[in-house]
Amino acid sequence: MTDFVFDGGTAVVTGAASGIGAELAAALARRGCRLVLLDRDADRLAAVAARTGGTTHVVDLADRAATLAAGAAILAAHPRIRLLVNNAGMALGGRFDQITLPEYEQVLDVNFHAPVRLTHTLLPALRAEPGAHLVLVSSVFGLLAPAGQTAYAASKFALRGFGESLRQELAGEVGVTLVHPGGIRTRIAESARVGSGVPPEQDAADRKVWERLLTFPADRAAGLILDAVERRRPRLLIGMTAKAPDLAARLAPVGATRVQGAAERGLRRLVARRAG
């Protein structure tokens, strides 16, 4: 496929109220795209739309019916879509035995089922637009799965498998880019849910660890994603916190998990000493 052309195309972005999604909206507006923006945070989404000129859909992507309804409304208003960015995501802290099944399933609904539902609903509009492209934002935890992230890692591994298979099915029609961000400076740690069985002191310690890892600027991440779209790159790793684990997983799939666990324990001790 030829390079992607942004100017004049319609771009749909989920999770557009903050973080990478908001930066993508701003960058796409500068590149001449007509924007359709989705998020559950009405106030923040309205602020992004005011800056970028996009139309908005306030929707909780954990809600199957609401997600499908939003997709149908977008399809009716935009029968041709040039870019769909499934960016929205949520995190959930706690070991598997510290979370409830509804909490687990909510993460799967937002991070995996919503992208599947929106992609399935909007695929006719993507196919109707020559040179269309699809972006699926997975995670470094779609490459390696740390303890305490069973729901998040499962959702991101699933999204990775979905995207890699779909890329082959849509070859020559719609481009597909899988994105694996590392520690991006967004609100994901701040807004992360915590399992019902997680003690407050464990939650506080976990948040401090993750906050120290979220250092890569969201605007730079958005720029890299759009560069990857323009060049039709099938896969994008953002930051050394994604590139190093990816290399480790390729060289030593089992050993990489042990190294990751040791590194996380070391970071926790460092944070605890500084907090003390």
pLDDT digits (tens, 9 = 90+) for 190-248: 677 889 998 888 877 777 776 777 778 999 999 999 999 999 999 999 988 888 888 88
> How confident is residue 12, by pLDDT bands cut at 50, 70 and 90?
very high
Tell me which of 6, 104, 152, 162 is the catalytic residue: 152
pLDDT at 255: 61
Phi then psi for 218, rounded to 5 degrees?
Answer: -65, -35
pLDDT at 275: 40
| Banded pLDDT at 24 (limits 50, 70, 90) | very high
* 152 has catalytic annotation: yes
Greatest extent of the chain over all pairs of C-alpha atoms, in Å: 59
For residue 263, pLDDT beyond 50: no
In this structure, is the dihedral angle defined by the CA atoms of residues 245, 18, 48 and 60, taken in order, positive or negative?
Answer: positive
pLDDT for position 188: 66
Nearest CA to 87 out of 129, 119, 64, 56 is that of 119
Domain ranges in the chain are: 10-275
192 burial type by CB count under 10 A (0-12 exposed, 13-18 middle, 19+ buried): middle
Least-confidence region, from 65-69, 81-85, 181-185: 181-185
pLDDT given for residue 269 in this prediction? 41
67-84 average pLDDT score? 98
Total-model pTM: 0.88
Q: In what order do the strands lie in the sheet with 175-181?
A: 55-58, 34-39, 10-14, 83-86, 133-137, 175-181, 235-238
Q: What pLDDT, on a 0 to 100 scale, did the predictor assign at position 261?
A: 57
Q: What is the mean pLDDT of residues 158-168?
A: 98
Three-class secondary structure of residue 229 per DSSP: helix
Average pLDDT, the chain: 89
- Residue 189: predicted pLDDT: 62
Taking the mean position of all CA atoms in its chain, how far away is CA 147?
20
Q: Is 222 left (phi over 0), alpha (psi -120 to 50) or beta?
A: alpha
159-163: list long-range contacts, CB under 8 Å, 24+ apart. 159/86, 159/111, 159/112, 159/115, 160/136, 162/112, 162/115, 162/116, 162/136, 163/134, 163/136, 163/138
CATH hierarchy code of domain 10-275 = 3.40.50.720
In the predicted model, what is the mean pLDDT of residues 64-68?
Answer: 98
Average pLDDT on 149-170 reads: 97
Percent of the chain with pLDDT over 70: 89
Query: Looking at residues 113-141, what average pLDDT do you find?
Result: 97
Token pair in block for residue 52: 């970028």
Secondary structure of residue 156 in the 3-state scheme? helix
Q: Residue 212 belongs to what H/E stretch?
A: helix 200-213
For residues 238-265, average pLDDT: 70
